[in-house]
Amino acid sequence: MDLLLTGGAVFLDGRFQNLDVAISDGRIVSVSPALPREGFSVIELHNRCLVPGFVDVHVHLREPGFSYKETVFSGTAAAAAGGYTAVCAMPNLNPVPDIPEHLRAQLDIIEKNAKIRVYPYGAVTRGERGEELADLAALAPHVPGFSDDGRGVQSEEMMRRAMALAKKLNRPIAAHCEDESLLQKGWAVHDGDFARRNGLPGNDPASEWRQVERDLGLVRETGCQYHVCHVSTKESVALVRAAKAEGLPVTCETGPHYLVLCDEDLLDEGRFRMNPPIRSSADREALIAGLLDGTVDCVATDHAPHSAEEKSRGLRGSLNGIVGLECAFPVLYTNLVETGAVPFETLLNALCVNPRRIFGLPGGRIAAGQIADLTALDLNRPGVVDSGSFRSLGHSTPFDGWGVSAAVALTICGGEIAYHNLQNPEEVLQ
């Protein structure tokens, strides 16, 4: 399909410009004011913002192995509805993609059922058990990086060996940083005032930042490109900031829930439980400061769906994980940009530009010759987060019922419409 997107404010070179965008054969062919319409199906954007498609570098699509929680089809449909044109899928699956045969099983499902681009991580260790390295060399040509997300690599020597090999293979390691020796058994929430007031076992922030500290020492030794997943503590932000100042090849992400919530906002419901937990207001402020100064590179949802029953046991008994793909942008825009806490351009860089730069993914610039992965945003579209309407099989989000002021209007992946929420049917194709 040849498309002409007209009347939009195009995010290009760090600012918005009134330009038309022509698409043919899955690529952008022209970006210019007032392009001719002949030969194109026209979508009228009516001053909506047109940005590179969002990329989430941290999602759990649950397939193969756990399709009762999510499938590649449902998860990527949710992603498209959230404005995402690409996601990086974590390897805590069954089988774990630790050898090419296991990765092939996952790729077959992706090729058949994905509505957007899916880049699967390879595991760092066999079965994510931390005992033996996965077949990193054989996996490397097919993955954007390696991760043992969900547990993390407990052995320093195992992580050293993984980093040394990943460096040779020119692939990053995306690390779930959690020192299990520092965790209180049965923890439910952040180890802070809320935990103490409610008699709940707490998760010590040191369990995260001490492993970040350990791994940064290994980066100095090996030179491995290193990405810290779901940073949640002020200490981790400070460590990453110092590592970047030192010139180490280090990046990090945080999640919408860590930027918008703190532990004072918790309710005793499973939709508030994830790992790492929502932390203190001081941690939240440090994460926002890190986003502003470039310490925090990406905002990633850690979309981790579970069944309704698995999330029905309150803070103590529910499994860790929430969904976020379908509400991330409206929640972030409403609570960070509209409040003046974060410039819109900074948020867009964290959603569109930096994820591609870090993991070497295509796109990220609206220019002739680039892949046509684009998202149109309506910044004046009041609504309410309604988890019951999610395309994801998971519906557990702390943002259910929140009022928002913006919405995703259109998602185009590879030149094809993956999702649209345009208000008038005649806007879709003219």
Domain boundaries, the chain: 3-50+370-427, 53-359
pLDDT over 70 at 427, yes or no: no
Q: Name the band, by pLDDT with cuts 50, 70 and 90, for residue 39.
A: very high
pLDDT at residue 147, rounded to an integer: 99
Q: Which residues face 377 on adjacent strands?
A: 49, 408
Residue 319 burial (C-beta neighbours within 10 Å; 0-12, 13-18, 19+)? middle
What's the pLDDT score for residue 240? 99
User: Quick one: pLDDT at residue 96?
Assistant: 99
Instruction: List, in sequence order, every beta strand (DSSP E) within 82-170.
Output: 84-89, 117-120
Structure tokens at 336: 């960070």
Query: Which two tokens mark 149?
Result: 């997300």
Residue-level pLDDT at 152: 87
Tens-digit pLDDT profile for residues 332-380: 999 999 999 999 999 999 999 999 999 999 999 999 999 999 999 999 9
Say if CB 283 and CB 258 are below 8 A apart: yes
What pTM was computed for the model?
0.97
pLDDT reported for residue 426: 52
Which CATH code for domain 53-359? 3.20.20.140
Residue type, 163: M
Taking a C-beta distance cutoff of 8 angstroms, is the pair 136, 162 a contact?
yes
Distance between CA atoms of residues 134 and 353, nearest Å: 30
Catalytic option among 215, 302, 373, 378: 302
| 18-292-119 Cα angle (round to 5) | 75
Catalytic residue check, 302: yes
Residues 397-403: contacts with CB within 8 Å, 24+ apart?
Answer: 397/271, 397/322, 397/323, 397/324, 397/327, 398/257, 398/261, 398/265, 398/271, 398/272, 398/278, 398/322, 399/256, 399/257, 399/260, 399/327, 399/331, 400/271, 402/327, 402/331, 402/334, 403/334
Q: Is the pLDDT of residue 428 over 70?
A: no
Q: How many CB atoms lie within 10 A of CB 246?
A: 11
Nearest CA among 339, 429, 324, 428 for reference residue 385: 324
Give the confidence band of 1 by pLDDT, cuts at 50, 70, 90.
Answer: confident
Q: Would you state the structure tokens that stand for residue 335, as one six-digit string?
A: 């609570």
- The alpha carbon dihedral of 155, 156, 159, 164 has a sign of negative
pLDDT tens across 242-287, in order?
999 999 999 999 999 999 999 999 999 999 999 999 999 999 999 9
Q: Does the pLDDT value for residue 41 go beyond 70?
A: yes
pLDDT bucket at 324, cuts 50 / 70 / 90: very high
Residue 430 pLDDT greater than 60, yes or no: no
Q: What is the DSSP letter of 273?
A: -
Retrieve residue 412's tokens: 């185009």
Take residue 8 and report the two structure tokens written for it.
Answer: 């939009």
**Fold for the domain defined by 3-50+370-427:** Urease, subunit C; domain 1 (2.30.40)
- Per-residue pLDDT, averaged over 196-212, amounts to 97
> Which helix (H) or strand (E) segment is 309 a member of?
none
* Amino acid occupying residue 384: V
Mean pLDDT of the chain: 97
Q: Is the pLDDT of residue 425 over 70?
A: no
What does the pLDDT average to over 136-155? Answer: 97
pLDDT of residue 424: 62
